[in-house]
Amino acid sequence: MSQLIRIKTALISVSDKTGVSELAQVLNDFDCKIISTGGTRKKIEEANIPVVEISKVTGNPEAFGGRMKTISFNIESALLFDREKDKEEAESLNIEPIDLVICNLYPFQKVLEQGADFETLIENVDIGGPTMIRAAAKNFKYVAVITEPSDYENLIKELKENEGCLSYETRKKLMAKAFNHTADYDALIATTMDKENEIHSYRVAYEAGYPLRYGENSHQKATFYKQKNQENTLFDIEILHGKALSYNNILDVNAAIESVKENTKTACSVIKHSNPCGLCEGDNQAKVLEQAWAGDPISAFGSIIAFNTKLEKETVEFFQLNNSDKSQRKFIEVVIAPDYSEEALAYLQYHKNLRILRFNPKHLNAKTELRPLNGALLIQDTDQVLYEKMEVVTSINAAIENEKNIIEFGLKALKNIKSNSIAIVRKKDGYHQLLGMGAGQPNRLIATKLAIEKSRTNLQNEFEGEEEAFESYYKQEMNNAFLLSDAFFPFADNVELAAQYGITKIVQPGGSIRDKSVIEVCNDLGITMVFTGTRHFKH
Amino acid sequence: MSQLIRIKTALISVSDKTGVSELAQVLNDFDCKIISTGGTRKKIEEANIPVVEISKVTGNPEAFGGRMKTISFNIESALLFDREKDKEEAESLNIEPIDLVICNLYPFQKVLEQGADFETLIENVDIGGPTMIRAAAKNFKYVAVITEPSDYENLIKELKENEGCLSYETRKKLMAKAFNHTADYDALIATTMDKENEIHSYRVAYEAGYPLRYGENSHQKATFYKQKNQENTLFDIEILHGKALSYNNILDVNAAIESVKENTKTACSVIKHSNPCGLCEGDNQAKVLEQAWAGDPISAFGSIIAFNTKLEKETVEFFQLNNSDKSQRKFIEVVIAPDYSEEALAYLQYHKNLRILRFNPKHLNAKTELRPLNGALLIQDTDQVLYEKMEVVTSINAAIENEKNIIEFGLKALKNIKSNSIAIVRKKDGYHQLLGMGAGQPNRLIATKLAIEKSRTNLQNEFEGEEEAFESYYKQEMNNAFLLSDAFFPFADNVELAAQYGITKIVQPGGSIRDKSVIEVCNDLGITMVFTGTRHFKH
């Protein structure tokens, strides 16, 4: 089925001249006639390669300031006629076949990005180029079409391998690529022209898709794609080891990366069902992992864990993957880090199924996020404002002016936990740790309760003294901790509950009509309350 | 700025002939010369309107089985030349301007949907049409272009109003529409041809966007769009009354509709932060609302509520919106129903800010869902399998063969609650009610705990007897209830916890390596356990 076609005549008309002389040389070596336009022709002639001026073929002059160069009965016929059925008709009309089109389009995107005016934009809408490209693609049975200099290398390679011929498979692939090229081109023109008409439209294209084993559940089929022309996407994660990622892995990997991407110190997040149930930042990576894990040591089993710094062996030894006592091994599903020391990577591979991913969280910096909903779409800016202010609103003030870092850590945690969310964070031995969190609750009071209960359990786990001494340890730790709320408290009930369990420092956006009474309750209960002015709902 | 252009010459070449004679008649009435191709020409001539055959203008024959009809130096020059700068050049080349193009393309989409073979698909890729359309659009300063019969009516109207002329504004709008048309056309061709190359690609276009006040939080900008060529989208909701929907409203409206769309009886869902915290189905709508509300009467304040049947006044009186005691009024954010009785609608409007939406949940039937993640995209089938089997796996069997309806109700609830999720449902007076739920927890045990605690609170709220009698009432209700889990239990701890609180009937997918020991614990504790074989993760 290779159906080789000899490239006897090529039409070259490019706005990006990269590599065009070299390509023309190869074509010339195979005795291919080259037809070309204006600047392209000059460039090829400079390399001493014979070129036929396109007007010789079209029979028409270049006209109207270059708006008419290639479009003609002769050129499009030469591309479109069926080499079998239409052979005689073509001969009688003196149409000689063109077998290859090398064309790229007026740089609409480039001039748009340069902020060109409307008239320049319009002038950069290519008409002749898409016509040639689409005509050649339609007739791919006999014609090959190239739209990007990056494809020259493969083209040259195949021409050399096949002594100046191209295969059906290649022409078919190039055909699909060509229609993608014109689809992308008109997509950008369409949304730009809508904008000029004050119409909001949005187009997006995805490529390189591959089917996953299944979706969120085994009865759901799923496919994973990469957005076209986007760098640093979640799709670009390198899989160094382990089984293929599942649909739910991908969701959690995204949440894990999001949860450590803003931290400036070494940070580690532990994700279960898209929520960080453990999070820590500090200097020593091993200690950071240990304290992140301690945020929910039960849920951490089977979790997805991300780091924002190169992973070292002494850190990952925490997982005890080669412990002869299997019950001591801490199995996780996925680990993500910007890089791995050779020893760390080797150690992690003790766990045969562990997905080991390389990706730098800092590279995930999308400015907008899309939320398709049953044939509708929400697009919003990503949540990039941590806080507007840090204002103590109570008469009580536990000198938290010096605690900006731990509050910032808490806000970064909070914005990655599903709403309603409450986070309790603490500073301990120089580390910032998520001590407990409540996620995804219809009722904020229950989120608060969950965060408090989890904190208590975790403090019990870490406490090593006599049982009687625990309550005072507990109280001391809760006193020092900060409780943060993703949205304002509609009533004082959350504050009262938190106070009962020893919380003395609360951070919330403020903005409720009952702020005043909430502040009064804080003052009565000895609580310092900070308003940030910035809500962090996440759903 | 209206810059009227007189339409002296029109080129008409359409595959869809709807309304084309009527349009030609109007053009003829304004002494407009009509140029046309093959079948279109015939159709117009049949209406006794003079037409110039296109080959008279191109100077070329129609060739190659129709592949070459319009593409020519003369036609595209007539569309593209600048009526001011290029005037003399056009005259010297004998190019007469064409002022209007009416063109629609070979029906690629139609033949694709009809399951045409590859060759037919290729033959239905239009080359000449897009060239004319794009050339006319580029030169919109002087030329108008129409791509859809649905635009004829406005065209005729404006021609009549302006005595055969079209305004700049109209031409500019039509230009944007034209590029959208060719972008859509090539988008479909590109993905189809990718598929032929076994490449997975995906393109989607959204239109009719409008900015929301803000996104999930006030520091995030947001826009809401409709997917092109989709019917029954979330965007199609009719807003009958109230303030504009917010970003978070839209998320919750979607969740609310999803939560009642599969119920066959009258159903009502109460949504907070994307989770149903109340859900009920039964015969009497007023009672259904009452019992849905009772699922979480605290969170229900400020919630989003959806119904799957026409809303009646006696139902909505539950909200007591005109109660002179303001504390008795139950304020919600949004109500959605397929329709409203006149009285119900009038009553709901007592609440000035309430968003009253009309939409039939049954119309939301997307087969796939999209999940963009930082420049990547997950596409999966929607979760459409409720259960694969309903198998009692314990030796204990509380005759639940007769309880299929309540289990189905529970599974429908479960699949709409964020994972990990646990739902406790009961049958009471012929109604199916979500008694309590636990949502979005990293640890399943905590989800179970939340569902149990909420159930207990709700039973306390409804209990009207002596305090001492409550425990036996509680036990009886929990005994009769079903606890459902979205995924299997990895350990027996959930079962043990549920048993402590009186649960005797548990439904879960099964599939854990420890199923056997979980079943044994059930047998020991007098619990009937059903395996469905179908997990319902949702994130």
Sorted by sequence, the CB contacts under 8 Å of residue B25 that are 6+ apart come out as B47, B49
My answer on whether A349 and A391 are in the same domain is no
Query: How confident is the model at residue A181, as a pLDDT?
Result: 98
My answer on whether B99 and B42 are in the same domain is yes
My answer on whether A358 and A391 are in the same domain is no
Sorted by sequence, the CB contacts under 8 Å of residue A401 that are 6+ apart come out as A392
Of A58, A65, A221, nearest to B73 by CB-CB distance is A58
Of A131, A199, A275, nearest to B127 by CB-CB distance is A131
Q: Report which of A305, A190, A513, A496 is spatially closest to residue B134, judged by C-alpha positions.
A: A190
Q: State the Cα–Cα distance between residues B321 and B341, nearest whole angstrom.
A: 17
CATH number at residue A313: 3.40.140.20
Q: Between A and B, how many CB-CB pairs are < 8 A?
A: 433
Q: State the Cα–Cα distance between residues B495 and B482, nearest whole angstrom.
A: 12
A311 secondary structure, DSSP code: B
- For every residue of A281-305, which 3-state class applies, written as one string? EECCHHHHHHHHHCCCCCCCCCCEE
Q: State the Cα–Cα distance between residues B449 and A453, nearest whole angstrom.
A: 12
My answer on whether B489 and B510 are in the same domain is yes
Of A68, A134, A538, nearest to B76 by CB-CB distance is A68
Average pLDDT over residues B173-196: 98
My answer on whether B389 and B462 are in the same domain is yes
Mutate to test the interface with A, among B171, B217, B230 (most CBs of A within 10 A): B217
The DSSP bridge pattern shows strands B238-241 and B355-358 to be antiparallel
Within 8 A of A491 by CB-CB distance, chain B residues are none
Q: Report which of A394, A418, A427, A425 is spatially closest to residue A487, judged by C-alpha positions.
A: A418
By residue count, chain A amounts to 539
> CB of B532 within 8 A of CB of B411?
yes
Shortest CA distance from B220: residue in chain A: A381
My answer on whether B144 and B243 are in the same domain is no
**Where does the pLDDT of residue A2 fall: very low under 50, low under 70, confident under 90, or very high at 90 and above?**
low
Q: State the Cα–Cα distance between residues B387 and B265, nearest whole angstrom.
A: 19
My answer on whether B269 and B187 are in the same domain is no
Within 8 A of A137 by CB-CB distance, chain B residues are 125
Within 8 A of A275 by CB-CB distance, chain B residues are 440, 442
pLDDT tens per residue, range A332-377 = 999 999 999 999 999 999 999 999 999 999 999 899 999 999 999 9
The DSSP bridge pattern shows strands A505-508 and A482-485 to be parallel
pLDDT tens per residue, range B437-471 = 999 999 999 999 999 999 999 999 999 999 999 99
Of A216, A234, A380, nearest to B383 by CB-CB distance is A216
Q: Report which of B448, B386, B451, B444 is spatially closest to residue B415, judged by C-alpha positions.
A: B386
Instruction: Write the single-letter amino acid at A171.
Output: R
CB contact under 8 A, B418 and A419: no
Ordered strands of the A52-53 beta sheet: A52-53, A33-36, A9-13, A100-103, A144-146
Q: What is the DSSP string of B99-131?
A: -EEEE----HHHHHHTT--HHHHHHT--SHHHH
On the 0-12 / 13-18 / 19+ scale of CB atoms within 10 A, B17 is middle
Q: State the Cα–Cα distance between residues B15 and B128, nearest whole angstrom.
A: 12
Mutate to test the interface with B, among A83, A126, A193, A333 (most CBs of B within 10 A): A193
Shortest CA distance from A257: residue in chain B: B374
Query: How confident is the model at residue B399, as a pLDDT?
Result: 73
- Domain final residue pick, B175, B196, B217: B196
Is B207 part of any domain?
Answer: no
Answer whether residue B430 shows pLDDT above 70: yes
Shortest CA distance from B376: residue in chain A: A226
Answer whether residue B23 shows pLDDT above 60: yes
**Where does the pLDDT of residue B397 fall: very low under 50, low under 70, confident under 90, or very high at 90 and above?**
confident
Shortest CA distance from B449: residue in chain A: A450
CB contact under 8 A, A200 and B211: yes
Query: How confident is the model at residue B380, as a pLDDT?
Result: 98
Answer whether residue A238 shows pLDDT above 60: yes
Bond preceding residue B420 cis, omega within 30 of 0: yes
My answer on whether B357 and B378 are in the same domain is no
Share of chain A above pLDDT 70, in %: 100
CB contact under 8 A, A440 and B67: no
Is A122 part of any domain?
Answer: yes
CATH number at residue A176: 3.40.50.1380
Average pLDDT over residues A442-471: 96
E strand or H helix that includes residue A268? strand A266-272
Shortest CA distance from B206: residue in chain A: A202
pLDDT tens per residue, range A71-94 = 999 999 999 999 999 999 999 999
CB contact under 8 A, A216 and B382: no
Sorted by sequence, the CB contacts under 8 Å of residue B107 that are 6+ apart come out as B15, B16, B124
pLDDT tens per residue, range A25-78 = 999 999 999 999 989 999 999 999 999 999 999 999 999 999 999 999 999 999
Q: State the Cα–Cα distance between residues A532 and A530, nearest whole angstrom.
A: 6
Average pLDDT over residues A271-280: 98
- For every residue of B10-58, which 3-state class applies, written as one string? EEEECCCCCCHHHHHHHHHHCCCEEEECHHHHHHHHHCCCCCEEHHHHH
> CB of B172 within 8 A of CB of B130?
no
**Domain of A283, in residue numbers:** 236-363
Is B339 part of any domain?
Answer: yes
- List, in sequence order, every beta strand (DSSP E) within B228-309: 238-241, 266-272, 275-282, 304-307
Query: How confident is the model at residue A396, as a pLDDT?
Result: 86
ipTM computed for the complex: 0.95
On the 0-12 / 13-18 / 19+ scale of CB atoms within 10 A, A196 is middle
Of A208, A226, A375, nearest to B366 by CB-CB distance is A375
Shortest CA distance from B193: residue in chain A: A176
Shortest Cα distance from B295 to chain A (angstroms)? 11
**Where does the pLDDT of residue B503 fall: very low under 50, low under 70, confident under 90, or very high at 90 and above?**
very high
Calculate Rg over the CA atoms of chain B: 32
Q: State the Cα–Cα distance between residues B131 and A71, nearest whole angstrom.
A: 9
On the 0-12 / 13-18 / 19+ scale of CB atoms within 10 A, A261 is buried
Within 8 A of A59 by CB-CB distance, chain B residues are 73
Within 8 A of A369 by CB-CB distance, chain B residues are 372, 374
Q: State the Cα–Cα distance between residues B119 and B196, nearest whole angstrom.
A: 11
My answer on whether B311 and B388 are in the same domain is no
My answer on whether B343 and B410 are in the same domain is no
Query: How confident is the model at residue B350, as a pLDDT?
Result: 95
Q: Which two tokens stand for residue B57?
A: 């203008």
Is A223 part of any domain?
Answer: no
Query: How confident is the model at residue B163, as a pLDDT?
Result: 94
Query: How confident is the model at residue B111, as a pLDDT?
Result: 97
Answer whether residue B394 shows pLDDT above 70: yes
CB contact under 8 A, B131 and A71: yes
Query: How confident is the model at residue A400, as a pLDDT?
Result: 75
Q: In the beta sheet, which residues pair with residue A33?
A: A9
By residue count, chain B amounts to 539
pLDDT tens per residue, range B203-238 = 999 999 999 999 999 999 999 999 999 999 999 999
My answer on whether A428 and A480 are in the same domain is yes
Into how many domains does chain B fold? 3
> CB of A26 within 8 A of CB of A160?
yes
Shortest Cα distance from B378 to chain A (angstroms)? 5
Is B478 part of any domain?
Answer: yes
Is A259 part of any domain?
Answer: yes
- Domain final residue pick, A348, A363, A378: A363
Main-chain phi, psi angles of A146, to 5 degrees: -125, 130
Catalytic residues of B: 138, 273
The dihedral sign for the CA sequence A211, A213, A219, A224: negative
pLDDT tens per residue, range B70-91 = 999 999 999 999 999 999 999 9
Mutate to test the interface with B, among A214, A235, A378 (most CBs of B within 10 A): A378
The dihedral sign for the CA sequence B468, B469, B471, B472: positive
CB contact under 8 A, B199 and A190: no
Q: Report which of A281, A230, A238, A273 is spatially closest to residue A255, judged by C-alpha positions.
A: A273
My answer on whether B329 and B400 are in the same domain is no
Q: State the Cα–Cα distance between residues A67 and B437, nearest whole angstrom.
A: 66
CB contact under 8 A, B222 and A381: yes
Main-chain phi, psi angles of A523, to 5 degrees: -60, -40
- Domain final residue pick, B328, B363, B398: B363
Query: How confident is the model at residue B25, as a pLDDT?
Result: 97
Query: How confident is the model at residue A121, as a pLDDT?
Result: 98
Query: How confident is the model at residue B2, as a pLDDT?
Result: 66
**Where does the pLDDT of residue A275 fall: very low under 50, low under 70, confident under 90, or very high at 90 and above?**
very high
Sorted by sequence, the CB contacts under 8 Å of residue A480 that are 6+ apart come out as A426, A427
Is A308 part of any domain?
Answer: yes
Q: State the Cα–Cα distance between residues B76 and B81, nearest whole angstrom.
A: 8
**Where does the pLDDT of residue B401 fall: very low under 50, low under 70, confident under 90, or very high at 90 and above?**
confident
CB contact under 8 A, B377 and A227: yes
Catalytic residues of A: 138, 273
CB contact under 8 A, A275 and B175: no
What letters, b where the CB count within 10 A reaches 16 and e where it falls short, cover B209-245?
beebebbbbbbbebbbbbbbebeebbbbbeebbbeeb
Shortest Cα distance from B361 to chain A (angstroms)? 11
Instruction: Write the single-letter amino acid at B102.
Output: I
Share of chain B above pLDDT 70, in %: 100
CB contact under 8 A, B187 and A205: yes
Q: State the Cα–Cα distance between residues A168 and A162, nearest whole angstrom.
A: 12
Shortest Cα distance from A343 to chain B (angstroms)? 31
CB contact under 8 A, B441 and A81: no
Shortest CA distance from B182: residue in chain A: A186
Is B426 part of any domain?
Answer: yes
How does the average pLDDT of chain B come out, rounded?
96
Shortest Cα distance from A467 to chain B (angstroms)? 25
